[in-house]
Structure 1
Amino acid sequence: MSAFNPKPWPRKLRSQEWFGGTSRDHIYHRSWMKNQGLPADLFDGRPVIGICNTWSQLTPCNAHLRDLAERVKHGIYEAGGLPLEFPVFSTGESALRPTAMMYRNLAAMDVEEALRANPLDGVVLLAGCDKTTPALLMGAASTDLPAIVISGGPMLNGWFRGERVGSGTALWQMSEAIKAGTMSQEDFLEAEQAMSRSPGSCNTMGTASTMASMAEALGMALSGNAAIPAVDSRRRVMAHLSGRRIVDMVKDDLKPSDILTREAFENAIRVNGTIGGSTNAVVHLLALAGRAGVDLTLDDWDRLGRDLPTIVNLMPSGKYLMEEFFYAGGLPVVMKVLAEGGKLHRDALTVSGGPVWDEIKDVRNWNEDVIRPLDKALTQQGGIAVLKGNLAPRGAVLKPSAASPELLQHRGRAVVFEDIDDYKAKIGDDALDVDETCILVLKNCGPKGYPGMSEVGNMGLPPKVLRKGVTDMVRISDARMSGTAYGTVVLHTSPEAAVGGPLAVVRNGDMIEINVPARRLHLDVSDEELQRRLEAWTPRVERPNGGYAQLFHDHVEGADTGADFDFLKGCRGNAVPRDSH
């Protein structure tokens, strides 16, 4: 066996604090690694690249990531690096209770501490399901090691009796059809078999595809990453190329702090509006900006996204699914449209090492019904609308492209549910005093209230209203909704009810006004009456007794700033921990 003889690298690598010498401690670290069959020359001073894998069979969206990790390794080895794969907490939206959002911050902590404590020079972030992408980006931003995202990709289209079946979107539609009496239970069960027919995440422009798009729009993934289907061979190619690229990023010391600039976040917000992206992107990008030290607010979301047309014709806002989006040219086409319209910072740096314009300037649109020209936009008023008023002093959000135009200006009588259990107990009762002109109000489902801020904001309508053929009503809550959902739904109302926000004191029969063009959300009671109610309010939500739930309750901030923990904001760096040996 050859003696350890390190080769020079352009600069001293962080991993060499563990592996780069002949002391007892260096030999200790290297010798244990070699029990995996690693040759001595892999520790010769080349970069050590972590592959942060959210693979889990409990996270179906990410259950194929082991294969992608192997492709990443090929690229890293080719480029002269040493790949080392490691697991982190995987937040799967389809199975975790009470909600995956409760564990996004836990996963981000796991990523941050794994990166800081281990001998890594850079990291490839393998993500898929909704919360895994922001969690991995948040952890990486907090340590600021060179990092690149590779997404697992969306599922193939679902088909049922000649119609596209969109993940989540079809579920909500069919569930309402059952309550309306227009679909049989047998047909619903048959349709279930068509909903998830390949590995991958949601095939709609839900939160998973939105966050993959956000990673690309921010410059943290290679151009074209967001839309490639999970089972397409080009997804493996993307993983391979990302493995190659991270080695050069380490060589160039290209870090998240170089990429996650104010301009990058502005690009991402505009992209989100143009693709009809999920409202969940709001809380995730606000949290990520907090880690990156970028002063981003809800007002920025409204200012930058206002008057942007939605041109991507995908469910839940439109007709098609992610598979067609990829065939049409994917996110680079959308970004080129924005750039040519003066709505994109062309010089924003990406993980490619160059400006975003270099990556997108030559792409073409191969299907103008999927990615529409500006003059044939799906809706001229896309983006995320941020509403404020005495009911939401710190803001609430609504997705105009998924709403009913006739309800964007509406005044109605409040029908109030104190929490999700109250809603479930009452919504199916035909004695409930409600009609289609009313506004459904759901309380105590925010970050502290649920806990975790579950995706229950798109409340199903009362069956007696559905039987009239009505498919939408105004709904207001401090909850989130799935990115696959649709409707005139006001979400993230801040401050939340559980901490005594005005939402907590709305009563049955109160009149509420929503005016999206004016960005107004108003409870029609006097200031004096509102103040009396708030002074008499007492909390309904008890502090959890120990464990992560108590940590979450004590330290989670409001949705208006990203629902991150107060002690996790900012970049704490990647200083090498002391050796204990």
Structure 2
Amino acid sequence: MEKEHLRSQGWFGKKGKDGFIYRAWMKNQGIPSHQLQGKPVIGICNTWSELTPCNAHFRELAESVKNGIYEAGGYPVEFPVMSLGETLMKPTAMLYRNLVSMDVEESIRANPLDGVVLLCGCDKTTPALVMGACSVDLPTIVISGGPMLTGKHRGKDIGTSDIWTFFEDNRSGTMSDEELYTAEACLARSKGHCAVMGTASTMACMVESLGLSLPDNAAIPAADSRRKALAHLSGNRIVEMVKEDLKLSDILTRKAFENAITVNAAIGGSTNFIIHLLAIAARIGVELSIDDFNTAARGVPLLANLQPSGKYFMEDFYYAGGLPALMKELQSHLHNETITISGKPMADNYSDCVCYNRDLIGTLETPFNTTAGIVVVKGNLAENGAVLKPSAATPALLKHTGKAVVFEDIDDYKHKIDDPELDVGESSILVLKNVGPRGYPGMPEVGNMSIPKKLLDQGVRDMVRISDGRMSGTGFGTVVLHVSPEAAVGGTLAVVQNGDVITLDVQAGILHLEVSDEEISLRKAKLNLHGNIVNRGYTHLYQMHVEQAHLGADFDFLKGGSGSKVVKDSH
């Protein structure tokens, strides 16, 4: 892009008072004049925060990006946005995903930026930043923070998925508090996000399979020096993208989204993938529905032997060849001609790749598991859909009929789940209401409810569990999530009662409450749907405008984008 066409020159290239102000105040940072004279200005959107441990190394990573931008002839400017730390934020980081997307969108649009580098890591930081950037649609490249090194505990490899097992073992008395405390110190032994194919790793794979990052972005460990090298090269590339005017809308086509769905099936990605990809598609203006997740990856097996569906870790995945090696095995299922941030077809990202561990990355002929993907089920209990990950479920429970044990909200669940008097059996179905987008609010990761202690003591380790909430990508079990419409807006889930019979048939795509339509209507007529609305601040805004899970849980007023043009110039 020529100097006079650079967006930043609308600030730094101006004559008179306005230009004087823009340049003079930037120069108080010790910037010489030539840095503002026609060089592409690249924003580095940084989610560094010590309250987001997964992203706590991003100051260092940003320096590598800056070096790459300088080398390519651009000028880097780093700016902060609100950071979402999955492990610490209450009530849930998901409540703030849309807020961060607005922060990113307005920060990019309001400032003299020609291109953007998004530094993402912890779960919600990736979709939030991509959503915001899509609404502006400048040249953009994504760099993930990378997974932490595999945990080591008493001769075994451990990762975040083991937390659920440790917790159940501790509750059942087979793991002492002291042993649990020891494991705690062994789990997160380096910088980076979760070491398994949880939501953070799924999001890193998502951006690479969409074509928004350089190859290998998804799996290079955070502690590996090659993560810094990738950041440097990404800094190089974003300057070239500005010169080529290669924008997000050029890359994020319908076929790119289908590629991401296909890859997510093959890696055993998080169920959270659906809700975030739907939101991103709506921001960039690509038609995508929840039903596409049943059809776009049809026939794709699980190729990646990674926790929580398998046994290996993201560090191992990188050493085995990473996402490019896996995508090479999928080439017959991919749209190989889609353009990536390199400006070249997706096929170029993996054409020369080699797999170095066939136990970790399978082939289409010899996959790790023939069951893959995220299945969407529908019925009178989820008219707009609910989701389940079969590869993380118990096969025998994928077709199951049982009586409901109902928890009206998260507090009711916490109060009752370990009650010895709870009327529950191995074939029961646990139902948790009012943990959806509006009902909680924010849709927390509580869908993989703990097994009642009385059953845990009997050796039960899985049950069918249904809710309008989400589940951590590191979790596992026969867990039906994202029920839409949610209970808080009057979905059928709201009127399920103890003892009601529910049928789940994953292969048939059915989730059905065995209650007559007339009885359901009578129950719904008695609902009070306005009891949990917060009356002030961002949470009020969220509850008033959040869409349902099958639409991506974005705000209804953020559909599409409003472009990069600044409406008013105040000077």
- Pick the aligned partner of 2:430 from 418, 425, 440: 440
Using the alignment, how far apart are the partners of 1:305 and 1:505 within structure 2?
34
Structure-2 residue corresponding to 1:44: 37
**Superposed displacement of residue 39, structure 1:** 0.9
Cα deviation 1:503-529 (Å, max 9, x = unaligned): 000000000000000000000011111
Using the alignment, how far apart are the partners of 2:373 and 2:517 within structure 1?
31
- Pick the aligned partner of 2:162 from 154, 165, 170: 170
**Superposed displacement of residue 113, structure 1:** 0.1
Structure-1 residue corresponding to 2:257: 265
- Pick the aligned partner of 2:227 from 227, 231, 235: 235
**Superposed displacement of residue 464, structure 1:** 1.0
CA contact (8 A) 2:211 2:256 kept: yes
Using the alignment, how far apart are the partners of 2:463 and 2:14 within structure 1?
67
TM-score, structure 2 length as denominator?
A: 0.99
**Superposed displacement of residue 577, structure 1:** 4.0
Cα deviation 1:159-180 (Å, max 9, x = unaligned): 111111112x111111011112
Cα deviation 1:183-241 (Å, max 9, x = unaligned): 11111111000110000000000000000000000001111100000010000000000
Using the alignment, how far apart are the partners of 1:233 and 1:288 within structure 2?
30
Tell me whether 1:179 sits opposite 2:139 in the alignment: no
Using the alignment, how far apart are the partners of 1:76 and 1:265 within structure 2?
28
Using the alignment, how far apart are the partners of 1:545 and 1:330 within structure 2?
47
- Pick the aligned partner of 2:110 from 111, 117, 126: 117
Cα deviation 1:297-343 (Å, max 9, x = unaligned): 0100111133321111111100010000000011111111111xx21
Structure-2 residue corresponding to 1:386: 376
CA contact (8 A) 1:415 1:508 kept: yes
SS in structure 2 at match of 1:86: strand
Structure 2 unaligned segments of length 5 or more: list them.
none
Using the alignment, how far apart are the partners of 1:59 and 1:503 within structure 2?
34
Structure-2 residue corresponding to 1:207: 199
- Pick the aligned partner of 2:270 from 274, 278, 289: 278
Structure-2 residue corresponding to 1:542: 532
- Pick the aligned partner of 2:21 from 19, 22, 28: 28
Tell me whether 1:346 sits opposite 2:346 in the alignment: no
**Superposed displacement of residue 436, structure 1:** 1.0
Cα deviation 1:485-513 (Å, max 9, x = unaligned): 00000000000000000000000000000
Structure-1 residue corresponding to 2:76: 83
Aligned residues: 571
Change in 2 beyond 3 A, CA 1:49/1:538: same
Structure-1 residue corresponding to 2:246: 254
Cα deviation 1:355-392 (Å, max 9, x = unaligned): 00011111010001111223332221201100000100
CA contact (8 A) 1:10 1:251 kept: no
Which one is further off, 305-314 or 271-280?
305-314
Using the alignment, how far apart are the partners of 1:461 and 1:427 within structure 2?
8
Structure-2 residue corresponding to 1:551: 541
Cα deviation 1:125-173 (Å, max 9, x = unaligned): 0010000000010000000011000000000000111111112x11111
Structure-1 residue corresponding to 2:88: 95
Structure-1 residue corresponding to 2:474: 484
Structure-1 residue corresponding to 2:517: 527
Using the alignment, how far apart are the partners of 1:140 and 1:247 within structure 2?
17
CA contact (8 A) 1:310 1:383 kept: yes
Tell me whether 1:244 sits opposite 2:236 in the alignment: yes
CA contact (8 A) 2:436 2:442 kept: yes
Using the alignment, how far apart are the partners of 1:363 and 1:102 within structure 2?
39
Structure-2 residue corresponding to 1:567: 557
Structure-2 residue corresponding to 1:509: 499
SS in structure 2 at match of 1:394: strand
One-letter amino acid matched to 1:416:
V
- Name the Cα RMSD after superposition: 1.0
SS in structure 1 at match of 2:465: strand
- Pick the aligned partner of 1:403 from 393, 399, 415: 393
CA contact (8 A) 2:330 2:364 kept: no
Structure-2 residue corresponding to 1:219: 211
Tell me whether 1:465 sits opposite 2:458 in the alignment: no
CA contact (8 A) 1:117 1:577 kept: no
One-letter amino acid matched to 1:147:
T
Structure-2 residue corresponding to 1:4: none
CA contact (8 A) 1:496 1:558 kept: yes
CA contact (8 A) 1:116 1:577 kept: no
Structure-2 residue corresponding to 1:154: 147
Using the alignment, how far apart are the partners of 1:97 and 1:128 within structure 2?
18
One-letter amino acid matched to 2:58:
L
CA contact (8 A) 2:484 2:491 kept: yes
Using the alignment, how far apart are the partners of 1:305 and 1:466 within structure 2?
35
CA contact (8 A) 1:151 1:212 kept: yes
SS in structure 2 at match of 1:36: coil
Tell me whether 1:138 sits opposite 2:128 in the alignment: no
- Pick the aligned partner of 1:425 from 409, 412, 415: 415
**Superposed displacement of residue 540, structure 1:** 6.4
Using the alignment, how far apart are the partners of 2:291 and 2:3 within structure 1?
43
**Superposed displacement of residue 22, structure 1:** 3.1
Using the alignment, how far apart are the partners of 1:379 and 1:451 within structure 2?
36
**Superposed displacement of residue 578, structure 1:** 2.6
One-letter amino acid matched to 1:134:
P
Q: What does 1:367-378 correspond to in 2, within 5 Å?
A: 367-378=357-368
**Superposed displacement of residue 11, structure 1:** 5.2
One-letter amino acid matched to 2:448:
N
One-letter amino acid matched to 2:246:
L
Using the alignment, how far apart are the partners of 2:475 and 2:10 within structure 1?
49
Q: Percent identity?
A: 62
